Structure 1
Amino acid sequence: MRVRSSQGGVVRVEQVNWVEVPAGLLRRGTPVSEVVEVARRYADTGVPLEWYMKEAPRTEIHVPAFRIASTPVTVGQWALFAVATGRPVPQAPADHPVIGIAWEAATAFCQWLGERLGCLEVRLPTEDEWERAARGNDGREFPWGEEYRTGLANLVDLGIGTTTPVGSFPKGASPFGVLDMAGNADEWTSTLYAPYPGAPAEVPSTEDWAFDRHITRGGSFRHDRDLARCARRHGAYEPDLEAIGVGFRLAAPAA
């Protein structure tokens, strides 16, 4: 199936542009000693200190090789699945990220696409895989480096107020060349929320207030720059998943 993009070009909905992420070290999270400074640096966003505590402690872990899609799943990619399964087709341009997608629907799409591609292992990335794809081999603050720069991601500071075509900010790519790891759509992972091993005692063991307990990453067009940080752990805290911009990205075993 082919659909039209917002620029008039043709999008093949079954095409996935995979990025190979090699096995390597992830410097996951944020050191406990730095959390207070992180909260101070982003105090203007109104995010409380305890939200950043969920990132602690910093731990170096080995992540096996895997593949991740270069951009989030688009409206065009979602359309054929929606038609085949009797779901509504979003009224948005085909090359924008699909948003408003529940975790269960995202995982159903992965299984459906995997069957069409002859590979049943298409899935959502784990939280560690997502952070590895965003951060690369170092502990950088943002996918593109240490400093936040307006114009490298579709976040609230741009004032767009909605999604943009995927891949619109190539200068905001991660070290592996993965796009849209910050902004545009907040992305589901396969990981249920839990404190990291060795987390500070004040970190909650569950997030009972969340609409869904799975971790999301990256933030959407409605979020501030704190959610562009590679270490920032988020979630779907409101039931209107379209309003808060929740979408997803595909992962698979290494080729």
Structure 2
Amino acid sequence: MRIVISSANEDRPYCVNIAEMIDHHTLWFYQKADRGVERLKEMQRRIAWCDGLLFLISENSLASAECRRDLELARNEGKPIIGVVIDRHTRIPEELGLTNCVNLSDGLTVEAVRDLMRALYIAEHADAPMPPAKEPDLMLSAQGAAPPEMPRADIESVVRALENGDYERARDLIDLLKERGETSVFIDLDAMRALAQSALNRQQEQQKMEQEYRNIYHLIKAEVTRQIGVDAFRRFRQKFPDYDPDGLAAFLPGRPPNKPETLLERLNRMSAKVPLLEWREVPAGRVRIRTGDGDHQKDVDAFLMTRYPITNLQYNMFMKAPNGYCDPRWWDFAPEARKWRDSEPNYKPPQFKGPDRPRETVNWYDARAFCNWLGHILDAKITLPTLRQRQRAIMGDDDRGFPWGADFDPTRCNTVESRTQMTTVVNQYPNGVGPYDIYDLVGNTWEWCLDTVEKPANDTGEKYHVVIHGGAFLSKSNRAHVTHYMSVPPQSQYGSIGFRAVALMR
């Protein structure tokens, strides 16, 4: 079940505790610092995506206009709303329109966990009898709420915090472990803290950039402040030349009036309701690869590429769509692909869960089928990138070896040197983007390419092998270099191979 938690900013620690308790569901809650228009847009998308809303009830949330708006969005979408009381002194207004209500104000007791699981089960099985929502007995004690428990501090909690993108909590938990004098013969706590702090710094830098952009957006959209906004956007572009998700460049002088919508603008507009499905343009150029027998150059036409790898959430939409995974026509691009689909009607789940992680454990046939389906939805020619297209997106015009420059940097991507030993969310490395503002072009997962190559002589089971490129979380840095690639059988399904999509411009 896909669940969104709505809470006041002050109550966010409860979200983390609940996420740890119900980790067999797909759960999301807002974690960024900015709480304005950016939060509203993200909550609109997530509530449309989810199967139910958990509303944390406290004096803070009832006083929050944002939380009230979350309830309205969920009601408008027809989503079940489960109230979760976290403050025993809070009275529940009747107008909240709750489907069910559970009491966690005494902590995560066995009874409270059971009640929450039952409420989720009822919401997930809409045809089951629904008990009437009632207000829990919140005034059983005149002594007030029980004192909060000390946060659980162990390596598992740290890892969960890192997985959830709560890097500040991860850092604080590590500090608590060190304060308690806990040590390990094998685990380097200082390295873990440095990882959490580095990720937190990147996250805060990204949030600051996004907030500055949103402020400029509001200035430009209002005619009375438009010129101030345009001047601010010019300065903004000097530092962030490739970040313009809302197309503010259209307001800069020199753009022809009534210019027709480009393919990039159309795909970004049509993809706007799907989290992390964004497109970036890679202009035409030349790929120059230096090998032992000299330089090899190849011209590459302009194309559009997804800004992030395809995520678990996006692939899950394909699996659940009435015309998605259940429709075998998307595998009709090759007889062996259709044969695979007919013989393997069931898909494998990803090795690493989380809506914003890259979707792995997908073979080449299924990755191409997803692209065919997405192209049908967006009315565009969408496919897997070729090796040269991926290299062009990394190298730009200065023949760099990695997206950020000539030298490898383990803080800019997820390879074995980063010591994560798992995939990370696809937007974790803003300082590792390439020249065209594209994330995770190296590390995290290998990515399928469109190219096929001759199979090895000792492989008797396949007609050909397929190129993979970019390295993964378990790869050494040399495999993340732009010139390195491998080939594997097209039926391969590993937790270290994912994919992204490109749209052809002609």
Fold conserved between structures, TM > 0.5: yes
Matches within 5 A, 1:132-143: 132-143=392-403
1:45: which partner in 2?
none
| Letter paired with 2:416 | V
**Structure 1 residue aligned with 2:441, among 165, 181, 187?**
181
Residue matched to 1:251: 502
CA distance in 2 between partners of 1:81 and 1:3 (Å): 19
In the alignment, what sits opposite 1:156?
Answer: 416
CA distance in 2, matches of 1:208, 1:105: 25
Structure (1/2) with the larger helix percentage:
2
Match of 1:60 among 283, 292, 297: 297
Q: Which has the higher contact order (CA 8 A, sep 6+)?
A: 1
- Alignment partner, residue 456 of structure 2: 207
1:221 aligns with 2:458: no
2-side partners of 1:146 and 1:217: how far apart? 18
Question: Aligned residue pairs: how many?
Answer: 217
Residue 96 (structure 1) aligned with residue 357 (structure 2):
yes
Q: What corresponds to 1:166 in structure 2?
A: 426
**How big is the shift at 1:95?**
0.3
Q: What is residue 79 of structure 1 aligned with on the other side?
A: 316
The structure that has the greater radius of gyration is 2
Out of 218-227 and 76-85, give the one that drifted further.
Answer: 76-85
**Is the 8 Å Cα contact of residues 363 and 491 (structure 2) preserved in structure 1?**
no
Matched residue, 1:199 = none
Cα pair 1:99 1:241 within 8 Å, conserved: yes
Going from structure 1 to structure 2, the CA distance change for 1:96 and 1:234 (only over 3 Å counts) comes to same
Query: Corresponding residue for 1:109?
Result: 370
- Equivalent residue in structure 1 for 2:277, among 16, 28, 31: 16
Q: Does the 8 Å contact 1:144/1:172 carry over to 2?
A: yes
CA contact (8 A) 2:364 2:490 kept: no
C-alpha distance in 2 between matches for 1:226 and 1:209: 26
Is there any run of 5+ residues in structure 1 with no aligned partner, and where?
Answer: 33-55, 195-205
Structure 2: distance between partners of 1:141 and 1:57 = 16
Aligned-pair identity (%): 29
| Deviation of 1:30 (Å) | 2.2
Superposition TM-score, scaled by structure 1 size: 0.76
State the shift of 1:6 in Å.
Answer: 6.5
Query: What SS is found at the alignment partner of 1:30?
Result: strand
What is the CA-CA distance between 1:68 and the residue it aligns to?
Answer: 0.7
Query: In the alignment, which residue of structure 2 is the partner of 1:44?
Result: none
**Shift of residue 155, structure 1, vs aligned partner:** 0.5
Deviation at 1:231, TM superposition (A): 1.0
How big is the shift at 1:237? 6.8
- Give structure 2 stretches of 5+ with no counterpart: 5-25, 31-45, 50-272, 327-346
Residue 173 of structure 1: how far off its partner (Å): 1.1
